[in-house]
Chains A and B, each alone.
Chain A
Amino acid sequence: MDGEELTEQETALYDRQIRVWGADAQRRLSKAHILVCGMKGTIAEFCKNIVLAGIGSLTLVDDRVVTEEALSANFLIPLDENVYAGKTLAELCCDSLKDFNPMVRVSVEKDCSSQVTYQASVENFIVSLMLLWYPAVPSLLRDSCGEIFVDLQLHTYSKKKLEETIECQLQYSSFEEAISVPWKILPRKVSKLYFALRVIERFEEAEGRNPGEVSIADLPSVLKLKKELCDEHSLNESHIPDALLERLVSSTREFPPVCAILGGILGQEVIKGISGKGDPLKNFFFFDAMDGKGLIEDISNSAGS
């Protein structure tokens, strides 16, 4: 392992987390490259977490300019208009993130539509992590609840069982595959948020809206769509409470503590994925500040597990 030892500086800085996941995992992190599209509050939190953790490099994509909404939920954006004028969200976040850990290379890429895929090759282990936040599939956060979707494709990892280490493998579904699973075959107790978000998604798609571009005025149409979808899927309408849909359309602003929670969980999953240690989340995570639960749902159509 010559030349691959952690430097003295790294050992000192990462001491407390090396005690959690080991030096080997830390080395793998330092070789990982991550691409992030869309600098919302949750993603800003996530970026902070993985930069602190000591990944190899991080590339940001977001050509939008600063808005009041961005200022309220994205703590990486400086408040001073003199500072942020003329810069894109990605550029501003990049400057802030570099500060958190000088050992991580943070850069900006313009425009995600070219679908650049970054890959980290760590001893035959290839990680392609952009799927977590395709512009079309953001980790959604609306006011006080949110969803994370994970697709690690065919993922091999190790974990401790009793006194020994065992190798495991999981086959993930793509997002399209996952959401095409017929609703009526899903277990009865699946989180209502799952269905509600799918309804909103479908509405946004049909109306040509960007994610999050809904308001209370849309509620009647959304409720109508819900009924149609429930009929289509033979799902009892009680699985998608109207009140929940109302919440989701009325306030699409991010709530900072929930950004932190989702950004924390997301960060943990990415670190686990890169290090190949520990059961990764499969495949949806929901958090709702109303009831305080953080739930995992496995909604996939792949045979393997």
Chain B
Amino acid sequence: MTCERFHFSSARDKVDLLSHLIIDMDTIEVSNLNRQFLFRQSHVGLSKARVARDAVLRFRPQISITPYHANVKDSNFNVDFFKQFNVVLNGLDNLDARRHVNRLCLAADVPLVESGTTGFLGQVTVHIKGKTECYECQPKPAPKTYPVCTITSTPTKFVHCIVWAKDLLFAKLFGDKNQENDLNVRSSDASSSSNHVEDVFERRNDEDIEQYGRRVYDHVFGYNIEVALSNEETWKNRNRPKPIYSRDVLDNELTRQNGNMDKNCSTNCPSSVSAMAALGMKNPQDIWGLMENSRIFLEALKLFFSKREEEIGNLTFDKDDQLAVEFVTAAANIRAASFGIPLHSLFEAKGIAGNIVHAVATTNAVIAGLIVIEAIKVLQNDTKNYRMTYCVEHPARKMLLMPVEPFEPNKSCYVCSETPLLLEINTHRAKLRDFVDKIVKATLGMNLPLIMHGSALLYEVGDDLDEAMVANYAANLEKVLSELPSPVTGGTMLTVEDLQQEFSCNINIKHREEFDEEKEPDGMVLSGWAPPPTVEGANKTIDNAGSTSEALPVEAEKSEEIETAPGKKRKLIEVSKNDGTSNAEEIKKNEKLQVLDDDDDDDLVILDGGDLGFSPSKKKCQW
């Protein structure tokens, strides 16, 4: 979308006189080329910001554009930096970055034009401090996390199997050995020796790879399932999984065949090592059966150990790592087979595991055009005509493009209205670290927080801290709230700030003993942030929500339809036009900032069947 917007704004005469700045931390990938048309095959691997700038200059050489190959959350993009600009255009696709930019634009008092697309859907919104809702006035559905027990013991959907395969099994086998891992099911027999269990995943010296692979296979798909089955309670109201052993699915013949085929691939360079290729399976859209998945599982594992041994122990899942995708697909499918969940193709599994956002050039073109139209209104101070515009797939009341007037700011928005929040937490059990990770960073989206209790500084992050302070804060993190130097108990109020975002928030603490493990897995509940009052059929937005936490990956919810809020919408406060400065003059003096961070990796998308001829029973998520 970046590309689109750039070239429109460039095509317009007046805008030639503006200077532009573009921030994007990404490099170009092949899969970008179906829509990011300023890029070519020869640019793969290069900085998006720089190549985009070069491309635009080729057809509008007189424009001034400065590229930054950087993360928009870098501390040098502070409030003073943002103050230089007359408008900010976002082409981000993760929630975290959007919230960050939103706060900076509020602090700098710079208009923000936000946008997003997924497939055929899209929207453009305008945010002016004090006049309209900020980006966070309407709560964006929090990315959903899965309870640990669903992933480890009782999956019901394919995505649960993917998360298990990716974050537990793959991480255990190929990732950092020192990381905590919930892979092994806790059996009801508390006396089972955990030492024995740990050894299972370690490959013994000179152990035959085939044998090791089967041992792992049998352990996670066979033994672990049997252990889980021994917990009668769990399965009272659930379908029982079936343990699967490799000897039942594959006989020894086949693995010897695999060994032969492998010789043909021995000249492959590491990056093109592929279990599919080794097994002669060509089509990523095929849905493999249990046997094929098992063969891929073992072959992929074998290839990791024989061709990429030096990487083992350091690997994290990467959707562009073919072998990793094959392994995770196979593992997820075998687990799915065990639990009676439908199997999926590699293509589909990759999309889920890699949080791939589906995208087409046409929707991006439409949204980009709309962004430029709003941006021009902002530059011309045409306040009465600012619109939030929604692009839908199925027309509503004859409309494919639906404009809505912006709403007033939400008076209880904790970002732009500074309303205090309420946190229910067990102050005797929860540590400050939990509060920082789960609330301050994950929920409130702060990067460089500072936490105060009255005048006492409980925690802060920064470059200029002396050793004693750093040590003090580190110690505080490990303390439970009620035992902090300035004790945090029920009835106290904490102030949390992010100085870079110039964002401050007050949180009232309420002590609570118990939390529901399934519904409130974090052991804390933040509230007090009321959605803005609208009539039923509230204006829902589609967003590029991203996974913000490092915990088990997320599925963000989608709003199925966009309905304009009829009747009782809060009115946009009129801004009276000021003096008679000619627009052309103003535009000449103006500058424009474009903030782009087209990182496709962040968002979990499960496709909607809809009209797309895709497999049914999948929910579309935010992007």
Contact = CB atoms under 8 A, between A and B. Distances in A.
A61 interface: no
B399 A294 contact: yes
B70 interface: no
Interface stretch (A175-183, A198-206, A285-293): A285-293
B133 interface: no
A226 interface: no
Interface residues of B, number: 66
Contacts of A17: 34-35, 358-361
Interface in B599-623: 600, 605, 607, 609-614, 616-617
Interface stretch (A21-29, A111-119, A129-137): A21-29
A49 B361 contact: yes
Contact of B365 (A49, A78, A278): A49
B387 A292 contact: yes
B12 interface: yes
B288 to A, nearest CB: 16
Contacts of B365: 45, 48-49, 260-261, 263-264, 267
Contacts of B372: 256-257, 260
15 contacts: A5-B282, A17-B34, A17-B359, A48-B365, A163-B617, A256-B12, A260-B8, A260-B368, A261-B366, A261-B401, A277-B611, A292-B387, A293-B403, A296-B400, A297-B398
A292 B31 CA distance: 31
Contact of A260 (B4, B60, B387): B4
B285 A16 contact: no
A15 B399 contact: no
A21 B612 contact: yes
A295 B607 CA distance: 27
Given A13-B30, A258-B369, A260-B365, A160 B11 contact: no
B351 A19 contact: yes
A24 to B, nearest CB: 6
Contacts of A15: 31, 34, 356
Contacts of A265: 362, 366, 400
B369 A261 contact: yes
A160 B610 contact: yes
B363 interface: yes
Contacts of A75: 7, 11, 59
A12 interface: yes
A297 B400 CA distance: 11
Interface of B: 4, 7-8, 11-13, 30-31, 33-35, 37, 40-41, 59-61, 119-120, 282-285, 347, 351, 356-366, 368-373, 376, 387, 389, 391, 393-395, 398-403, 600, 605, 607, 609-614, 616-617
Contacts of B611: 159-160, 277-279
- How would you classify the secondary structure of chain A's contact residues: helix, strand, loop or mixed? helix
Contacts of B614: 19, 22
Contacts of B393: 278
A217 interface: no
Interface string A210-239: 000000000000000000000000000000
A159 B61 CA distance: 46
Interface residues of A, number: 63
B613 A16 contact: no
Contact of A16 (B37, B284, B356): B356
A262 to B, nearest CB: 8
A79 B61 CA distance: 9
A292 B361 contact: no
B613 A22 contact: yes
B58 to A, nearest CB: 8
Contacts of B40: 99
B613 A165 contact: yes
B361 A48 contact: yes
A100 to B, nearest CB: 6
Contacts of A293: 399, 401-403
A259 interface: yes
B403 A292 contact: yes
A294 B37 contact: no
